[in-house]
Chain A
Amino acid sequence: MAPLLDISAVAKRFGAVTALSDGALRVEAGEIHALLGANGSGKSTLCKIIAGTVARDSGRVHLDGAEVALSDPRSAERLGIGLFYQELSLVPQLTVADNIFLGDERTGRGGFLSGRRKREDAATLLARVAAVAGPGLTPDALVGRLSADQRQLVEILKVLSRRHRLIIFDEATAALDRRQVEVFFEILRKLRADGVSIIFISHRMDEIFAIADRITVLRNGATAATFVTSETNRTEVVHAMVGETAIRERVEHAKPASAGKPLVTLKNATSRRLHDVTLTLGEGEILGLGGLQGQGQSTLLQGLFGALPFARGTIEIDGAPHAIRSPATAIRHGFAYVSGDRGRDAALHGRSIFENLAPAAIVRERRFVFWPRQLRPRFEAAVKALNTRYASLEAPIGSLSGGNQQKVFIARWLATGSRVLLLDDPAKGIDLAAKADFFALIRGLAAEGVGIIFYASEDAELLSLCDRILVFNSGRISAELSGPTLTSFHLTHAAYGEAA
């Protein structure tokens, strides 16, 4: 008998980036199939292709033995394929019942909308999670008033209400607590008994081993292996994720990790996406933040910088406690923040390179009145030190390439002397040459005693640069890697919530 879903040799490029080169996946009817892979391995792209939100460039997708196009979400929906979106498809201003049946309205006599039927059907669905729903999760509750875990439950029920043959749950358990996950798994097992197939993605390895029948591993855009869960173990799976050739190339540092005296100490930092994070950054140390994307790394950096202040926790700088409630405060303490999302977080669009360099100097040196002539030589020195290619400081920022723009946004901070550099996936989308310049610069700064906290979505960047890596999972530090454990095996292992 043909499998329900059979994908082979699927490829997808986004511009110059190959997201998927050889994706393959077979899902049997009535099977829970886990999809695993490090950041950028292509699992999101594969899911989007199955759900019809991204069209494949080449390759075959068979459903029940017949080739299908899956050109748009609607055609996938018609074929009985459902996708769980992470909180993205709920309308906060509508009620729980409205949201569950949005686009699949309940009608009564004469084909008119029936509010009564909708509420009744929603109540039936809610009854399945009643034991763990928490207070206030009723059909008439506004979604905007619900907590994160309740919204996630609503999202799950919304997918369940559609009676699909194949459901993709992409990080459906991210906001749920242990009991809620158990109830969700009960629902999944019941679906499986009814013959529904499920593709399950999670950043927690123990969940995968608890629920999945089989596991398919993606690596660098290609399917690396498929395992039967009962016949494999975690080590084997992680090896498949990182590959046999994952011997890391690394410049060995002369000094042992965290030899410098502590520069910044963070204790018990907690906010909406962070739980009880404690860390110390030494002078001249490059501290990496690892793990799958969106596990709290960026929240931590923005918290330290005062852009998203922590709800609780203390920050000590040179041993003295300080409250950092705004970027301005952080900047005056010598902090700098470089975001990978340049267009949103750093670029003053339509302004000159000079103006894009100036803010840090103006804020940190409290220059209420300034004369460009005094600042220009320093700025020129700072951008030149990074090999930035530019015509003149008066040219608009938009005339530079992405990599050169990022150099300007880093030079912004270097022109004023920063002691703590917070890097939030800074090399995202910049070319290889600029990346090399950039990494050389970071090593140079560390050698001068600057403390650096570096988050990268690419594990290779972390491994080649960091003295120590804290691995994040669900807003917590799940492992600390240093010395012999600084390998992609340990990093991937820990990213999925396993002790290294």
Chain B
Amino acid sequence: MSRTRAVLSNPLVLAALSVLALLGIGEILSPGFAQGNQVTRLLTVSALLGIVAAGQCLVVIGGREGIDLSVGAMISLGAVLAGNVMSGANGAIVPAFLVASGATFLIGIVNGLGVTLLRIPPLVMTLGMMGVVQGGLTVITRGIPSGNAAPALSSFVNQPFLLGLPGILYVWALVALVMWFLLRRTELGFAIYAIGSNERAAILAGLPVRLVRILLYGLSGFFAGITGVLVIGYTGNSFVSVGDQYVLPSVIAVVIGGVSLAGGTGNYFGAMLGAIALTLLTSVLTTLELEFWGRQLIFGSVLLLLMLLYGRSRQLRV
């Protein structure tokens, strides 16, 4: 009995169960919802969210109120940069990835420097950075959609690439592998958990705490940049607010996956399930013909509900 409860209170199990439940609800509301093609489609959309959530996941695990609200603006920047570098040319796909992720990595590093050296709270630092990047992007592009995806990129994201699955899913799998290796097998990953769990103890254990925290934000930027390039592959062209819709979901996905906002716990596998669950939820809500604001309302409520649940389970643990 207590064993069942322990299994049920495991965030991973909860996330997996909600994925299944949402699939079932979708199938009832609109027959065909849970069929092969549709599921592939859902996973493609989940991958976009999942890859941003990788960065968000690192920042949140790193603790000290870690959160990155600038991921949306960085996705937009990545998309616009990639669109202009590619301009529809297949040969420029690799440079597009390098330019977009490089630029957002550097912006992330600036976030990290602000948070560690100037001790600006992450919420404020990344919110400010969001404004700077969005504003800068609007000024430079004058708000007009610019650049477009190379055809090869669009088909890589949208069309079957290998074994009937689109290429973006293989990118996501690669990200998952990298995240697992990073968090479980490298000093950096070890230090991320340590600083999120107890920063003072991490310093006294000799870990390079500041450097790690700066890198975390850099990596969050890097993943946002990669997502930006994939987003333009998904939509075909880019506009300056294309990334905005990912900010809140990237945080919720991480929390659904069992990463505590207090830092120091959780893993990327949970965040992946969270991204899938959230994409499914969006999809179900769309089937219900709930528009943007209705979805925001539900998302916000889900986040608050999760905080309530996990807040209680943390109290129980101590």
Contacts and interface: CB of A to CB of B under 8 A. Distances in A.
A328 to B, nearest CB: 4
Interface string B188-206: 1010011001101111111
Question: For the complex, would chain B's binding face be called helix, strand, loop or mixed by DSSP majority?
Answer: helix
A500 interface: no
Contacts of B307: none
Given A358-B190, A368-B187, A349 B197 contact: yes
Contacts of B202: 348, 359
Contacts, number: 79
Interface residues of A, number: 32
A348 B194 contact: yes
Contact of B264 (A331, A350, A364, A368): A350
Interface residues of B, number: 21
A351 B206 contact: no
B203 A355 contact: no
Interface string A319-344: 00000001110111000010100001
Contact of B204 (A337, A358, A364, A371): A337
B200 A359 contact: no
B16 interface: no
A337 B201 CA distance: 11
A112 interface: no
A328 B191 CA distance: 13
Q: Which of A360, A367, A369, A398 has the most CB of B within 10 A?
A: A369
Contact of A368 (B186, B198, B203, B265): B186
B204 A346 contact: yes
B116 to A, nearest CB: 15
B185 interface: yes
Contacts of A367: 187
B42 interface: no
Contacts of B193: 348, 351, 355
A345 B200 contact: yes
Given A348-B202, A369-B185, A359 B208 contact: no
Interface string A347-375: 11111000100111011100111110000
A141 interface: no
A331 B206 contact: yes
B310 to A, nearest CB: 13
B298 interface: no
Given A350-B265, A367-B187, A368-B186, A327 B198 contact: no
A362 B200 contact: no
A307 interface: yes
Interface string B204-231: 1111100000000000000000000000
Contact of B206 (A344, A349, A355, A359): A359
Contacts of B187: 362-363, 367-370
Interface of B: 185-188, 190, 193-194, 197-198, 200-208, 264-265, 318
10 contacts: A332-B206, A345-B201, A348-B197, A349-B198, A351-B194, A359-B202, A359-B207, A362-B190, A363-B205, A369-B185
